[in-house]
Amino acid sequence: MVPLAALIKEEARSEKLEKPLLRYGCASQSKKGEDFFLMKTDCVRASGNPSSTFAVFAVLDGHNGNAAAIYTRDNLLNHVLSAVPRGLSRDEWLHALPRALVAGFVKTDKEFQTKGQTSGTTVTFVIIDGWTVTVASVGDSRCILDSQGGIVSLLTVDHRLEENVEERERVTASGGEVGRLSIVGGAEIGPLRCWPGGLCLSRSIGDIDVGEFIVPIPYVKQVKLSSAGGRLIIASDGIWDALSSESAAKSCRGLPAELAARQVVKEALRTRGLKDDTTCIVVDIIPPDRSVKPPQPPPKKMNKFKSFILGKKSKEPANKLAKKLSSVGTVEELFEEGSAMLAERLGNDSSGGTTTSGLFTCAICQVDLAPSEGVSVHAGSIFSTSSKPWEGPFLCSDCRDKKDAMEGKRPSGVKVL
């Protein structure tokens, strides 16, 4: 009989051997000093187990000052991890991440708003654990995946009012007004904005002066790469206002990650000039048993006869290609959700969200609650997927107030007694 300790040791060794290598680099050009980033590769799921490491990369594009971006960079990761239950296996941990990311984003926003500062920030937050990539985002920073064969897919959704009809409808339904800036004579100029405040985005962290219908609830997507690996490009809108996803990926193929990040920034500046802060992180996820090679340019076009005999990738729009990724074996989609309603995002908790001490815990800020203090996230919500509003997860009174404000059930900043 093999001792249990030996089995655990062997499992840890196998997991470590199967993990991909990460090669990464970052480049930026500053105009307003409001872009920030995070690169951390020594995070650990289980204390004392070095094989349980994972990496975090993030780009934060601040506006109306840099306070929100700095606070989010320094606190979001801890808030996300505190929302993941203890003692989970790796698969359970990955399964719990999407909900924990929602809780972490909302808690970060809630805490920053208590500081009374009016700045805000976009966030694109990427967690890489083995071959699994989990991306959470608010705003218009973006993360793309460049897979082998030249297939580029979007792992985020842009929350720009100008381009996102669903978000415009949600904001107006929650009490906000959407329109362009009016000038003398009644003419309207510029992109669609939310009023009050004039923000072009429908989701962000911070922005207390705009209204809580501008929510911090992230779009989350989780995918599992094939053993061929791939390249992630995470960047602020200084890149995406100048380059399409396909152009950014194509501009740096064949280059190592650090040079690739510089090349993407260089190409964006060449195309549009330095009109905004411009930040780019490139992460190569590389099979451990292969030489370190960045994604290569796709093969040259074949003639019609060869194309008929050998087959050829169709010239479909990027969004259609992204939807077909799982069918071609490049990547497996594990999770995707973009609802702005907490009742939908936090789901149901049949355990009631209790701790080992018998206390309830707020699903957002993780404070302990007596049974009489917690309010179910589903109570009184028309968006709830639960037929039992007395079930968890539960919220403290402050988080419940914030949920009501985000859903337009009360004016922002008004306390419910």
Which residue shows structure tokens 């007395």?
Answer: 390
Flag whether pLDDT at 136 surpasses 70.
Answer: yes
Say if residue 364 is exposed, middle or buried (CB neighbours under 10 Å; 0-12, 13-18, 19+).
buried
- Torsion angle of C-alpha atoms 298, 301, 304, 306, degrees rounded to 10: -50
Instruction: Read off the pLDDT of each residue in 357-377 and give the average, rounded to a whole number.
Output: 79
Cis peptide leading into residue 196 (ω within 30°): yes
> Which phi and psi (to 5°) does residue 111 adopt?
-70, -40
Q: Residues 147, 219, 172, 206: is their CA dihedral positive or negative?
A: negative
Flag whether pLDDT at 137 surpasses 60.
Answer: yes
Flag whether pLDDT at 43 surpasses 90.
Answer: yes
pLDDT in tens, 155-210: 999 999 999 999 999 999 888 899 998 877 778 888 999 988 899 999 999 999 88
Say if residue 3 is exposed, middle or buried (CB neighbours under 10 Å; 0-12, 13-18, 19+).
exposed
Report residue 319 as tokens.
């969004």
> What is the model's pLDDT at position 382?
46
Q: Among 31-40, 50-59, 353-362, 402-411, which stretch is predicted with the lowest mean pLDDT? A: 353-362
> Which phi and psi (to 5°) does residue 231 adopt?
-125, 130
CA distances to 49, 50, 212 from 42, in Å? 12, 9, 35
> Which phi and psi (to 5°) does residue 119 adopt?
-75, 165
Q: Give residue 410's pLDDT band: very low, low, confident or very high (50, 70, 90).
A: low
Phi/psi region, residue 202 (left: phi>0; alpha: psi -120 to 50; beta: rest), is alpha
The average confidence (pLDDT) of the chain is 83
Please state, in angstroms and rounded to a whole number, the distance separating the CA atoms of residues 260 and 264: 6
Q: Give residue 324's pLDDT band: very low, low, confident or very high (50, 70, 90).
A: very low
Instruction: Read off the pLDDT of each residue in 264-281 and give the average, rounded to a whole number.
Output: 95
> What is the model's pLDDT at position 12?
52
3-class DSSP state for residue 153? Answer: strand
> What is the model's pLDDT at position 384?
46
> What is the model's pLDDT at position 240?
97
Q: Give residue 329's pLDDT band: very low, low, confident or very high (50, 70, 90).
A: low
> What is the model's pLDDT at position 165?
94
